[in-house]
Amino acid sequence: MADLWTDALDALRGMPPGSYMALVIVLAVVCQWLAWKLRTPSILILLIVGFGLGQVVTPEEVLGRDVLFGGVTIMVGIILFEGSLSLRLKHVRDLGRPVLRLCSATVLIAWVLITGSALLVGFDIKVALLVGAILVVTGPTVINPILRSLRPTRRVSSLLRWEGIVVDPIGAVLAVLVFQGVLAGGVGEALPTLLLSLLRTVAVGFGVAVALGAVLELVMRRNAIPDFLHGVVFLAAAVGALVVSNILQPESGLLTVTVLGVFLGNRPELHLEHVREFKEHLQVLFVGGLFVVLAGRVTPEQLWAVAPQALLFLLLLVLVVRPVSIWAGLWGTKVTRAEKTLLACMAPRGIIAAAVTSIFALEFSHAAERLADRATEVGGAEGAELRRQATELAGLAVEAEQMVPLVFIVIVCTVTIYGFGVGRLAERLSLASTSPQGILFAGTSRWVVDAARLLEETGVPTLIVAREYRTLARARMAGLTTETANILSEYAVKDMNLAGIGSLVACTPDDETNATATREFTHVLGRAHVFQLRRRDQPKRPENQRRDTAGHLTGRAAFRPPLSFEELELRVDSGMTMKKTRLSSEFTLAQFVEKYDGEAVIMFVHRDGRTHVAHEGARLPERDGVLISLVPEPVRPDADDQPLT
């Protein structure tokens, strides 16, 4: 066994680049699937696995530093482009000032405070300024997974998304300016250089992005690109913009791809669904791969050496820097106290911080080597001065190398703290739910209103959506939450507040509307949580592949047994009513079925704090839980039934 283990380790150490990349992809996907099963932040598992792999074989050994960091830069740019495509300007019409503050005043305050914290734990002022610039970012790679599981209110979600995506390139540009200032020398010499660099970065970033975005919009509107090429064309455009921008102005590429994504994502009537879906898949793969690879560059010795500094630094970040920067930066805005509290407790660091830290730690070494070579060539007094500067940069390079394990610890700990702790806080602040159980109904039938009332009595939030305001009158009179909107509208799918909602039941009279709604909301709620009423033309068993509706074009049939809209209406008209039944050892599921002679339509099951839409493949509880069902009126009422009153 020991020999087999040794042989396996030797094989890993000697693997070619192709095999290493294949292994990283497999590990990235498996880790994210495992995190989903365990309901754990995926970044934690990715970092642990990557750290373990790095103790056997490091990415530099296999790929080389130039290839490694070139690939990291491109993948980070694609991640930012994908995230910025989802930023909608109309989401922040009532949040324009807070978003502007989050991306300006809050960043500056955080930079000053993080720099002070880095000085306090022993970093040189130059490295401390760089650490502060790098760690002002949060990032979509850590914010988005938390938001998917948390599903907060639209306002909070918009604030966090905009901050996470927009501040990433700001932090990268800020880090570049600090690095250039360190290389330039004194403040008097550095200031003009930094101002010119900043102006060129902004000009190149916006110029390339807007010009390329206009061209892409034009060819898309003229249908000059076939649908199957939408994803790869936009991928090539983003990568090309990133590289061209970096050639014109170093490190301006991240700003360019972010502006490009925001520009394209907000063009009216520009449909980019194929692009977004393609980019989402790439983002999941790239995020996993980057965390595995970059974590593999850190050794246990490096972690142990900076652990005391890192823990003190972490405490300052969590307890001082984030709360002070949020409350001071958003002072005087219309952000509520509860929203500020949640924002102050939500600042996980992600892949951008890890990637930028690794890149700049390497750049210090390269700069020192370049100065030393130049000093040898020049000689004399100028050469002596260059050697002095090279020695100083070499010392900074050693200190900058400590940034990598320190940031690694910050990422792991902030993701753990915020990923596991923010859910309960958000629930207490009534801004989100860690386990959304609410039901979204698309339709206003009488049984829908009655079922929603029973669900609300059980403690399950509901939302009833209809196109016409007047059709929601009965639901409003019952005190239920309603929304006047077309369930197929862009507003319903992308902008409607779904805080606390976990499942959709599409129950309009039109089967095609129901089917389309389930397909669209699959991207929001997941396929396991979207249902529609049984189609009129859907047989209980497939009969004809030419005439039966394709399975991927329709949602799962809700309820047990599944019924069409007309069949449900007939049952309601015949006198069947909604009832809530509590199962127990005295009144089991079998007794419930026998009591109603198998005619009951079981719609929802509430058990152990979770609510599920009943369907044919679901396992129903035998002796515990609550059933919400459509049942015929029994001859003799039973104490276990709680009729709707």
Give 559's DSSP letter.
T
Rounded Cα–Cα distance for residues 203 and 256 (Å): 10
Element (H, E) at 557: strand 556-557
Rounded Cα–Cα distance for residues 565 and 146 (Å): 37
Upper half-sphere CA count for residue 241 (Cβ side, 13 Å): 30
Rounded Cα–Cα distance for residues 429 and 420 (Å): 16
So what's the pLDDT on residue 325? Answer: 93
So what's the pLDDT on residue 543? Answer: 53
Per residue in 608-641, pLDDT tens?
A: 888 899 988 888 888 888 999 999 876 455 555 5
Collapsing DSSP to helix, strand or coil, 480 comes out as coil
> Poorest-confidence range of 124-128, 189-193, 303-307, 420-424?
189-193
Residue from 394, 106, 81 nearest 262 by CA: 81
E-strand spans in 80-166?
none
| Per-residue tokens: 13 | 């150490």
The torsion defined by the Cα of 191, 192, 197 and 198, in degrees rounded to 10, comes to 70
| Per-residue tokens: 342 | 């949640």
* CB distance 626 to 583 below 8 Å: yes
Domain definitions of the chain by residue range:
2-364+393-428, 438-540+551-643
Query: Mean pLDDT, to the nearest integer, of 351-356?
Result: 74
Rounded Cα–Cα distance for residues 210 and 330 (Å): 30
* CB distance 435 to 610 below 8 Å: yes
So what's the pLDDT on residue 241? Answer: 93
Check whether 301 has a pLDDT greater than 70: yes
Report percent pLDDT > 70 for the chain: 88
Query: Tell me: domain 438-540+551-643, CATH 3.40.50.720, correct?
Result: yes
Give 560's DSSP letter.
B
Check whether 450 has a pLDDT greater than 90: yes
So what's the pLDDT on residue 548? Answer: 57
In the beta sheet, which residues pair with residue 438? Answer: 501
Query: Mean pLDDT, to the nearest integer, of 194-200?
Result: 79
> What is the per-residue DSSP string for 540-553?
SS---TTTSPPGGG
For the chain, give me the number of helices (H) and strands (E)? 26, 11
| Phi, psi of 485, deg, nearest 5 | -165, 155
Check whether 187 has a pLDDT greater than 60: no
* CB distance 83 to 140 below 8 Å: yes
Rounded Cα–Cα distance for residues 65 and 476 (Å): 63
Check whether 64 has a pLDDT greater than 90: no
Check whether 644 has a pLDDT greater than 50: no
Domains 2-364+393-428 and 438-540+551-643 share a fold: no
The gap between the terminal CA atoms of the chain, to the nearest Å, is 69
So what's the pLDDT on residue 2? Answer: 55
Per residue in 513-546, pLDDT tens?
A: 999 999 888 878 888 899 999 988 765 555 555 5
So what's the pLDDT on residue 446? Answer: 92
Please state whether beta strands 626-631 and 577-582 pair in parallel, antiparallel, or not at all (unpaired). Answer: antiparallel
> What is the per-residue DSSP string for 594-631?
HHTTT--EEEEEEETTEEEE--TTPPPPSSSSEEEEEE
So what's the pLDDT on residue 645? Answer: 40
C-alpha distances out from residue 356 to 14, 77, 360, 565, Å: 28, 12, 6, 56
- Determine the longest span between alpha carbons in the chain, in angstroms: 109
Give 638's DSSP letter.
-
The mean predicted confidence, pLDDT, of the chain is 82
Query: Mean pLDDT, to the nearest integer, of 432-454?
Result: 87
Collapsing DSSP to helix, strand or coil, 373 comes out as helix
Domain 2-364+393-428 fold: Na+/H+ antiporter like fold (1.20.1530)
In the beta sheet, which residues pair with residue 506? Answer: 442, 532
Q: Looking at per-residue confidence, does 70 or 444 come out higher?
A: 444
C-alpha distances out from residue 421 to 146, 170, 425, Å: 11, 27, 7
Query: Mean pLDDT, to the nearest integer, of 302-328?
Result: 90
So what's the pLDDT on residue 240? Answer: 93
> Poorest-confidence range of 161-175, 177-191, 346-360?
177-191
So what's the pLDDT on residue 125? Answer: 85
Q: At what angle do helices 403-428 and 42-54 cross, to 10 degrees?
A: 160
Per residue in 242-291, pLDDT tens?
A: 999 988 887 788 888 888 988 888 887 777 777 777 777 777 788 888 88
> What is the per-residue DSSP string for 273-292?
HHHHHHHHHHHHHHHHHHHH
Query: Mean pLDDT, to the nearest integer, of 416-440?
Result: 79
C-alpha distances out from residue 492 to 115, 293, 328, 497, 553, Å: 43, 39, 34, 8, 19
C-alpha distances out from residue 446 to 463, 532, 565, 570, 605, Å: 15, 17, 12, 12, 20
Produce one character per residue of 620-636: b if its CB has 16 or more CB atoms within 10 Å, e if not.
beeeebbbbbbbbeeee
So what's the pLDDT on residue 91? Answer: 61
CA 634 from centre of chain: 49
* CB distance 589 to 622 below 8 Å: yes
So what's the pLDDT on residue 306? Answer: 86
Q: Tokens 């059709």 map to which residue?
A: 471
So what's the pLDDT on residue 56? Answer: 83
Split at pLDDT 50, 70, 90, the class of 497 is confident
Rounded Cα–Cα distance for residues 574 and 572 (Å): 5
Length of the chain: 645
So what's the pLDDT on residue 215? Answer: 93
Query: Mean pLDDT, to the nearest integer, of 350-362?
Result: 74
Query: Mean pLDDT, to the nearest integer, of 8-37?
Result: 81
Q: How big is the chain by its Cα radius of gyration, in Å?
A: 29
Check whether 136 has a pLDDT greater than 80: yes
Check whether 14 has a pLDDT greater than 80: no
Rounded Cα–Cα distance for residues 385 and 286 (Å): 44
Residue from 278, 296, 240 nearest 51 by CA: 296
Check whether 396 has a pLDDT greater than 80: no
So what's the pLDDT on residue 35? Answer: 85
